[in-house]
A = this chain, B = another copy of it.
Amino acid sequence: MSRIDGRTADQLRPVTIERGWSKHAEGSVLISFGDTKVLCTASVTDTVPRWRRGSGEGWVTGEYAMLPRATNTRGDRESVRGKIGGRTHEISRLIGRSLRAVTDLKALGENTVVLDCDVLQADGGTRTAAVTGAYVALADAIAWAQDKKLVKSKSQPLTGTVAAVSVGIVAGVPMLDLAYEEDVRAETDMNVVCTGDGRFVEVQGTAEGEPFAREELNALLDLAVAGCAQLDGAQRLALGTT
């Protein structure tokens, strides 16, 4: 059975990672998963939030947003509505947690890196593209901070790599990296964040219709682990670290 765009069930959409997109940011990446395009910028400051001061440890956090017309119909700006929606909050927190999972905050020292992930165009998988791209921007920003002697520790702040992918069951078939049209029709939807060595940072599975069985969960996890491994390769290629 072939998918709406001709892919096989275990196939990623074309992935591109363009480093150095922004002239201002300490790290920046324009990542695309098919028609989903996310601009990820990493901003370094040599301070930490008040509650961490004096701890000797740094902080890494994420903020996710969508441009109003990133989607098929225009959405109101959250700045105009005056508050941030639940979905935005959830994804921002996911990005921050995912990156902290591979960061040694002690080695980072009292520096903060903010990863802004702004969706310029959406076609499903925006949060997984955001995590995957933000990792590359973070790597560049940390290298910059080491070069500027803001990070002084001898041990590497980055303790691993991290990437994310969506999986789901569409018309009974487990599939990798859902496009928007597939996502809408999925009975089960799962986002998985993995490290480069194949372990899990986040597993978030939701039954949109029917509850899902243990075997289905296992099949989805298999797909996700394989997908993350491919994304890990794309990240290494972009960073030139293979």
Point out residues on A near B: beta carbons under 8 Å: 22-25, 28, 35, 39, 41, 43, 45, 63, 65, 67-74, 77-86, 88-90, 92-93, 97, 101, 114, 116, 118, 120-123, 160, 190, 194-195, 197-207, 210-214, 217, 221, 225
Contact = CB atoms under 8 A, between A and B. Distances in A.
Contacts of A101: 207, 211
A69 B24 contact: yes
Contact of A121 (B22, B114, B217, B225): B22
Interface of A is mostly: mixed
Nearest to A35: B23
Contacts of A24: 69-72, 121-122
Contact of A199 (B84, B202, B213): B213
A200 B211 contact: yes
Given A199-B211, A203-B203, A65 B83 contact: no
Nearest to A197: B211
Contacts of A23: 35, 121, 123
Contacts of A93: 86, 90
22 contacts: A22-B70, A39-B120, A43-B68, A43-B73, A63-B68, A68-B116, A78-B79, A79-B84, A79-B88, A82-B82, A83-B83, A86-B86, A86-B92, A97-B206, A101-B207, A101-B211, A190-B203, A199-B211, A199-B212, A200-B207, A200-B217, A201-B211
B214 A200 contact: yes
Nearest to A192: B205
A121 B83 CA distance: 24
Contacts of A206: 97, 201-202
Given A63-B68, A74-B116, 14 more contacts: A23-B123, A41-B68, A63-B80, A79-B81, A85-B89, A194-B211, A197-B211, A199-B207, A199-B211, A199-B214, A200-B212, A203-B205, A204-B204, A214-B225
Given A68-B63, A195-B211, A207-B201, A83 B86 contact: no
- Interchain residue pairs A-B with the least CB separation, the first 7: A86-B89, A199-B211, A78-B79, A43-B74, A41-B69, A79-B79, A203-B205
